[in-house]
Structure 1
Amino acid sequence: MTSPDQPAQPAPADSSLANRYGAKKRRLSPKGARAVIAVALAVGIGFLAWVTTSNSLSGVTYKDVGYSTTDATLAEVDFQVTREPANPVKCAVKALDSKFAVVGWKVVDIPPTAGNGTPDGGRTVAQRVTLRTESASVSGVVDSCWIPGAES
């Protein structure tokens, strides 16, 4: 004779899932979560400070002020350079035609200055450069500035 089927006792869900997938992961305590957030925030602020100051520590910035074309063979470019007064600087200045082709190019030497009697201590100097051009120019700009011997 057969006996009626007895329902099997199912294993508790937690233990069967734990056997299959591993034990439940422990959550980070609130104190630990705050510590992780504080460290991430400090690292982020430090990175932003480094990015902000690393550009200003490069030593040279420039700003185009204006240009004028006197005739088809000459152009004048006005610009300002900011750097430490004791540093000499070289700037590449170019004149462009209506198709943005370079029609004049010159590297200008800017010597160190004493820096006395100016509001910013001689850090900013204004320059006017005359460029000879191959054809009529419609624009004049500074391409780049650098401290001689500091190029990498």
Structure 2
Amino acid sequence: MTTQELLDERYGRTRSRRSRRWWTLGAGAAIAAGVGVIAWYAFASAADAVDTTTTAFHLVDDHTVTVTFQITGPADKAIACVLEADDADHGVVGWKVVQYPASGTHAQAFTEQIPVTGIATTGFVNTCWVP
């Protein structure tokens, strides 16, 4: 053994193989736990994703717009949506929040009326989510 090795051992500047092994196992466990948490959050947010497609809108009169749309989301969970009507300058002239109870199917079609305060040129689904 060299003088440097003797001094390192005497003053505790060396690590044993056992302590390095525990450090490696602890770091591996922490990384595995981190990957598991990230995977859980990714799956949980994807499981409640709601897709919408506006299939039609109809200007009933100066005070009403009818929007027809389809929702694809998780079965057996309630869904809420924001419906919006815009004017020619893309300003919001009407909006409505609708909630639908849980259904056994993934895809559902609806038609809703939106009250408007001005002349609307379009109606659509702004967003949907699982409340």
Bin for the TM-score computed over the shorter chain? 0.5 to 0.7
Equivalent position of 2:124 in the other structure: 140
Letter in 1 for 2:115: R
Give runs of aligned pairs for residues 37-52 of structure 1, distance below 5 A.
Answer: 37-52=27-42
Equivalent position of 1:79 in the other structure: 70
What's the Cα RMSD here?
3.4
Q: CA deviation at 1:76?
A: 1.8
Equivalent position of 1:53 in the other structure: 43
Q: Which has the higher helix share?
A: 2
Give runs of aligned pairs for residues 11-22 of structure 1, distance below 5 A.
Answer: none
TM-score by length of 1: 0.54
SS of the residue 2:124 aligns to: strand
Q: Structure 2: any 5+ residue segments left out of the alignment?
A: 5-10
Identity %: 19
Q: Which has the higher strand share?
A: 2
TM-score by length of 2: 0.60
| 2: CA distance, partners of 1:26 / 1:139 | 72
Q: CA deviation at 1:65?
A: 0.8
Structure number, greater radius of gyration: 1
Which runs of at least 4 in structure 1 moved beyond 4 Å after TM superposition?
23-30
Letter in 1 for 2:108: V
Q: Structure 1: any 5+ residue segments left out of the alignment?
A: 1-13, 15-22, 116-121, 148-152
Equivalent position of 2:8 in the other structure: none
